[in-house]
Amino acid sequence: MSDPETVEVVAERVARASRVAVLTGAGVSAESGMATFREPQHGLWSKYDPMELAHIDAFRRDPELVSRWYHWRFSQAAECAPNPGHRALADLERVLTGRGCDFVLATQNIDGLHQQAGSERVLELHGTFLTWRCTETAERVPLDRVDFSSFPVRSASGSLMRPDVVWFGEQLPADVLRRAEEAVRSCDVFMTVGTSGVVWPAAGFCELAASAGAATVEINPEETPVSGAAQFAIRGTSARVLPMLLERIVSMDS
Ligand code: BV8
C-alpha cells in the first residue's frame, strides 16, 4: 500500500477510535534540530556514545562529564522549537478529546517540546532534563534555578544534583509506566513515531498493543525492530506525515 493510501486507512481508524495511544522518540524532535541518539553526536561530544553517557553507572563514575553532557544537550535544546510534527500531535489530542476519544501521548524524549507545542496528556517515560534533582533529598529544581557555574552540579547545600531523567539501568517511574502500559493495552489505535524501538520497556509497547487487538502504526523513515509488530507503516518523517494524517482525520466525522 502506498503511503497516501496508508495515511487514508490509518486516518479512518483513528477517526473511529475511542482510545488512541501514541509513543514518540527522538526522531520526532529531529526536525526541531535536536540530535537523535543514533546519529553521531557533533563536536566535543562526538567521541562519546550517548547510550553509555545516559547510564547511572556513568554518572556514578564521572558526574562532572555526565553533567556537562546534559548541560550541552539542553543548551542545544534552547535553540530548538516544536516542529509541525509536535504541533500536529497537540492538535490531534485536542480534536480527538473534543470528540470524546481518550488520547495518551507517551514520549521517550526529555526535551519538553511536546508540552511546548501544546500537548497536555503527556507521559514522560524517561523524565525531563528541564528539571534537576538533588541526589540526597530528591528535591526537584527547575532548570533556571540550577547553578551551572561549576561542574559537577551541586545544590546550595553542596549535594550532587542530577538531571531528572531515567538512565539506563534505572527503573522508569512506576506510576508513569503503569499509566502508559494501561493506555497501550486498552487502545484501539497505537502509533509509534520516530523511535528506533530498541529501548525497553517502551520497545515492547507496539507488540503489547497488537496483542491486545489494537491497530498498530509505525511512522518512521526507516524500518525498526518493532516494524514487524506494526500493521501499518508510513515511511516518512513525522513533521511531514503527522500534519497530513491530522488533516485527513479532521475532514472525517467520528
Ligand atoms: C529499565 C533518558 C528495569 C536519558 C533514556 C529488555 C531487553 C534488553 C534490555 C533491557 C530490557 N529491559 C531493560 C533493559 C535495559 C535497558 C535497555 O532497554 N537496553 C537496551 C538498549 C539494550 N533499559 C533500561 O535500562 C530502562 N530501565 O528497564 O529498568 C531494568 C533495568 C536493567 C535491566 C533490566 C530491567 C531505562 C531506559 C531509559 C534510558 N533513558 N533516555 C536521556 O535521554 O539522556 S533512553 C534514550 O535512548 C532516549 O530516551 C530514547 O528512548 C533512547 C533512544 O531511542 P529513540 O528515542 O528511539 O531515538 P533513536 O535515536 O534511537 O532513534 C530515532 C528514530 O527516529 C530512528 O528510528 C530514526 O529512523 C527515526 N527518525 C529520524 N528522523 C526522523 C525519524 N522519525 C520520524 N521523523 C524524523 N524526522
What is the DSSP secondary structure assignment for residue 77, as one 8-state letter? H
Detail the DSSP E strand segments found in the chain: 19-24, 102-107, 122-124, 127-134, 140-142, 161-165, 189-193, 215-219, 232-234
Exposure pattern of 32-50 as b/e (b: 16+ CB <10 Å)? Answer: bebbbbeeebeeebeeeeb
126 is catalytic: yes
pTM given for the model: 0.96
Work out which ligand 1 atom sits closest to the CA atom of 109: 49
CA distances to 13, 48, 250 from 254, in Å: 10, 48, 9
> Which pLDDT score, from 0 to 100, does residue 42 have?
64
Beta strand 19-24 pairing with 232-234: unpaired
- Per-residue pLDDT tens over the stretch 74-86: 998 888 999 999 9
Distance in angstroms (rounded) separating the CA atoms of residues 240 and 243: 6
> Which pLDDT score, from 0 to 100, does residue 39 have?
75
* Phi, psi (deg, nearest 5) at residue 25: -135, -170
Confidence class of residue 38 from pLDDT cuts 50, 70 and 90?
confident
Sequence-distant (6+) residues with CB within 8 A of 145 are: none
CA 193 to centroid of ligand 1, rounded, Å: 13
Largest CA distance in the chain: 60
Nearest residue by C-alpha to atom 20 in ligand 1 = 199
CA 109 to centroid of ligand 1, rounded, Å: 9
CA 56 to centroid of ligand 1, rounded, Å: 14
- Per-residue pLDDT tens over the stretch 162-184: 999 999 999 999 999 999 999 99
Nearest residue by C-alpha to atom 21 in ligand 1 = 199
Distance in angstroms (rounded) separating the CA atoms of residues 104 and 209: 13
Residue type, 193: V
Grid coordinates standing for 52?
A: 553509555
CA 247 to centroid of ligand 1, rounded, Å: 30
14 has a pLDDT exceeding 80:
yes
> Which pLDDT score, from 0 to 100, does residue 216 have?
98
Nearest-Å Rg of the Cα atoms of the chain is: 19
Exposure pattern of 122-152 as b/e (b: 16+ CB <10 Å)? Answer: bbbbbbbbbbbbbbeeeeebebeebeeeeeb
Average pLDDT taken over every residue of the chain: 95
Instruction: Give the Cβ contact number of residue 97 at 10 Å.
Output: 14
Pocket of ligand 1 (CB under 6 A): 25-27, 30-31, 36-38, 54, 108, 110, 126, 165-172, 194-196, 198-201, 220-222, 224, 237-239
C-beta of residue 216 within 8 angstroms of C-beta of residue 204 = no
Nearest residue by C-alpha to atom 29 in ligand 1 = 171
41 has a pLDDT exceeding 90:
no
Work out which ligand 1 atom sits closest to the CA atom of 204: 6
Work out which ligand 1 atom sits closest to the CA atom of 70: 44
Grid coordinates standing for 165?
A: 531523567
